[in-house]
Homo-oligomer: A and B are copies of this chain.
Amino acid sequence: MKSPVSRTLEALHRRYAGLKEGQVADYIPELAKANPDHFGICIATRDGQLYEVGNTRQKFTIQSISKAFSYGLALEDRGEDHMLAKIGVEPSGDAFNAISLRPGTGVPFNPMINAGAIATCGQILTHDGLSRIDRIREYLSRCAGQSLSVDEQVYRSESTTGHRNRAIGWMLRNFDIIEEDPEDIVEAYFQQCSLLVTCTDLAVMGATLANQGLNPLTGERAIAHEYVDNVLGVMASCGMYDWSGEWIYRVGLPAKSGVGGGILAVLPGQLGIGVFSPPLDSQGNSVRGIRVCMDLARELALHLFNPSAVPPPALRRSYNASQVNSRRRLPQEALRMLRRFGERIRVHELQGPLLFSTIEPVIRVLVKQAPYCQHIILNFAHVPAVDPVSARLLAEFSQSLTDSDSNLHLCHAGSFARTFMEAGIPASRIFATEDAALEHCEDLLLGDLLDGPIEAPSVTLSACHLFRDCSETDIALLEAGLQTMNFEAGETIIHSGDSADAMFIILSGQAEVLLRVNGNHQQRLDVFSPGMSFGEMAFLDASPRSADVVALTRVECRVLSREFFDRLGLEHTGLQAVILRRMALQLSERLRHANIEIGALRS
């Protein structure tokens, strides 16, 4: 099946393939040879998906589009302060080949005009035996995700006719903006402009800028993270020469065009666009390229200011410990307390990237709830990114909580755990799973309410839930008929997949139910304490065991075998009915709780 995204690009290509306006650049003979019918459109997403239509693999020279990237390389070599002292970042209001140097200082207005680009080229260092053009070529190749080469014929043609650019070079040398022989620098500049790219390369280079400098195809770091915004900034304010203001007004994407017929546009954080079509308008921008970008921006709503491109508040859902509890089974008294006071423990699942404007509404809710709860758990399982700002704001909120004797706990923080610890959240408050965090908070709350730790003392058979309605005679009968089994901590009591011919009653110790997820990883479903029974479900319907049960401590069990149970049915029907009634009651209680949990999860 064809993607509707591809269909959109195809329709756009059909719409403008017949447009015959504009002239192929002819200031050098090599460019004049370009085929005016060549026409390609490519979108590359931030995760490396390509959508292509037309001549997207046709090579052409990159020309001025290279200026944005060589500026990035110069920033990495020299830093922002040095570069701002050498070259401004103000739009000049002039055409691309105007000399536009600030009076007195000779500082070019910006790096996107020829003077600024030649000055930029002059700041790039030669090292490791690599010349300027070697380094520029390598840098742009990393951005494109493949090795680019210079079109020697175009380069020689540019060099033969580039007298105006040589004049600019010497003018920059005159003002000491360039401190070396300008001839070499201007030659490197001509070579840079003569690098061969395809429309797809441009889209990938754009996606690399959209993806904070990481090439989404190769995963390689192509542009230092800290300079991506600077490159996008000059593209936004000066990328389309003296049409830059109108471009931002009408299209709204940082972009750069070249006289080879290419246009590269970027929607930061989202995607890169490459368009190739050689015929140019009077400002030197590709005619079809401009039309395609304007239509794409409108039809796909790709605008820098598009406010729907802002993630919604990060609160995914909230519940409290009267609705959802840790997976272990707690004594009746503890459960009763949690039903009643569980609101003092609040769980908030967060979602989406955390940044100021998504975490701010969450913090507003937390600040408001703070006086009414003792323990707050934030679950980051559905958070793909945490910026340092939101980590810092949460750490500050956590500190205020601690001052008022409450606590913030984090879980499923994964690789963000480090960010939070660096922001000042104690490692002891960061839990691997929500279950572990809930268990910890429940223990603290119940410790306060029940005046002491929750204990799980050993019980006798008559105190077990299943046998609570039994007479003394019944208990004696059961004592005689049930087998005793002991398990060491870590020992598996039930293996998932095994057939079930018994159920288990715990007299002392604790055991957990583990579900194998994707082969290895184990998820805790439940914890059983003395007095509880397990294994009823498979026992009842004779299906295979659905999960492992593993002893958490030393465990003493009584085992109710099917054989004994069937015998009860024949010889002691009343006792069997009493046990079945308790079994049904216990299942009903668990189902009731499961339904509450489903309700909370669905909300």
A residues with CB within 8 A of B: 1-5, 7-8, 45-47, 49, 84, 88-94, 109-110, 210-212, 228-230, 232-234, 236-238, 242-246, 248-249, 252, 254, 267-271, 299-312, 316, 351-353, 355-357, 360-361, 363-364, 367, 370-371, 382, 384-385, 387-389, 392-394, 396-397, 400-401, 404, 515, 525, 536-537, 540-541, 546, 569, 573-574, 576-577, 580-581, 583-585, 587-592, 594-595, 597-599, 601-602
Nearest Cβ in chain B — how far from A50, in angstroms? 11
Contacts of A597 in B (CB 8 A): 598
On whether the beta carbons of A389 and B89 are closer than 8 Å, the reply is no
CA of A595 to CA of B538 in the docked complex: distance in angstroms?
14
Contacts of A311 in B (CB 8 A): 309-312, 352-353
On whether the beta carbons of B93 and A109 are closer than 8 Å, the reply is yes
Highest count of chain B CB atoms <10 Å: which of A236, A305, A583, A592: A305
CA of A536 to CA of B583 in the docked complex: distance in angstroms?
13
On whether the beta carbons of B210 and A307 are closer than 8 Å, the reply is yes
Chain A binding site: helix, strand, loop or mixed by DSSP? Answer: helix
**Partner among B536, B585, B602 whose Cβ is within 8 Å of the Cβ of A540:** B585
On whether the beta carbons of B357 and A309 are closer than 8 Å, the reply is yes
Contacts of A312 in B (CB 8 A): 311, 352-353, 384-385
CA of A356 to CA of B302 in the docked complex: distance in angstroms?
8
Nearest Cβ in chain B — how far from A571, in angstroms? 11
CA of A61 to CA of B546 in the docked complex: distance in angstroms?
73
**Partner among B1, B8, B246, B588 whose Cβ is within 8 Å of the Cβ of A536:** B588
CA of A88 to CA of B246 in the docked complex: distance in angstroms?
8
8 nearest CB pairs, A to B:
A269-B307, A269-B310, A4-B396, A580-B580, A90-B245, A311-B311, A594-B594, A587-B587
On whether the beta carbons of A249 and B89 are closer than 8 Å, the reply is yes
CA of A89 to CA of B515 in the docked complex: distance in angstroms?
62
Count of chain copies:
2
On whether the beta carbons of A229 and B352 are closer than 8 Å, the reply is no
In the complex, what residue of chain B is closest to A573 when comparing beta carbons? Answer: B573
- A246 and B90 in contact, given A591-B537, A594-B591 (Cβ under 8 angstroms): yes
Contacts of A212 in B (CB 8 A): 307
CA of A419 to CA of B357 in the docked complex: distance in angstroms?
27
On whether the beta carbons of A356 and B300 are closer than 8 Å, the reply is yes
On whether the beta carbons of A233 and B569 are closer than 8 Å, the reply is no
Q: List 19 A-B contacts (CB under 8 A).
A: A1-B367, A1-B404, A3-B397, A4-B400, A5-B360, A5-B393, A46-B357, A47-B361, A49-B361, A91-B245, A267-B357, A301-B355, A301-B356, A308-B387, A309-B310, A309-B357, A316-B351, A540-B584, A587-B587
CA of A301 to CA of B392 in the docked complex: distance in angstroms?
12
CA of A271 to CA of B2 in the docked complex: distance in angstroms?
39
On whether the beta carbons of B353 and A308 are closer than 8 Å, the reply is yes
On whether the beta carbons of A541 and B585 are closer than 8 Å, the reply is yes
CA of A401 to CA of B236 in the docked complex: distance in angstroms?
40
On whether the beta carbons of B211 and A307 are closer than 8 Å, the reply is yes
- A245 and B238 in contact, given A233-B305, A307-B268 (Cβ under 8 angstroms): yes
On whether the beta carbons of B301 and A364 are closer than 8 Å, the reply is no
- A229 and B541 in contact, given A89-B246, A546-B592 (Cβ under 8 angstroms): no
Contacts of A384 in B (CB 8 A): 312
On whether the beta carbons of B4 and A397 are closer than 8 Å, the reply is yes
CA of A305 to CA of B388 in the docked complex: distance in angstroms?
16
In the complex, what residue of chain B is closest to A229 when comparing beta carbons? Answer: B305
On whether the beta carbons of A244 and B237 are closer than 8 Å, the reply is yes
CA of A489 to CA of B499 in the docked complex: distance in angstroms?
44
In the complex, what residue of chain B is closest to A238 when comparing beta carbons? Answer: B245
CA of A45 to CA of B574 in the docked complex: distance in angstroms?
68
On whether the beta carbons of A363 and B3 are closer than 8 Å, the reply is yes
Contacts of A269 in B (CB 8 A): 305-310, 357
On whether the beta carbons of A228 and B305 are closer than 8 Å, the reply is yes
CA of A599 to CA of B547 in the docked complex: distance in angstroms?
13
On whether the beta carbons of B588 and A355 are closer than 8 Å, the reply is no
Contacts of A393 in B (CB 8 A): 4-5, 8
**Partner among B396, B569, B599 whose Cβ is within 8 Å of the Cβ of A577:** B569
**Partner among B90, B249, B584, B595 whose Cβ is within 8 Å of the Cβ of A244:** B90
CA of A94 to CA of B304 in the docked complex: distance in angstroms?
26
CA of A233 to CA of B250 in the docked complex: distance in angstroms?
8
Nearest Cβ in chain B — how far from A140, in angstroms? 21
Contacts of A270 in B (CB 8 A): 307, 310, 356-357
CA of A270 to CA of B485 in the docked complex: distance in angstroms?
62
- A3 and B238 in contact, given A91-B90, A93-B109 (Cβ under 8 angstroms): no
Contacts of A306 in B (CB 8 A): 268-269, 355
Contacts of A246 in B (CB 8 A): 84, 88-90
**Partner among B5, B233, B574 whose Cβ is within 8 Å of the Cβ of A249:** B233
On whether the beta carbons of A92 and B90 are closer than 8 Å, the reply is no
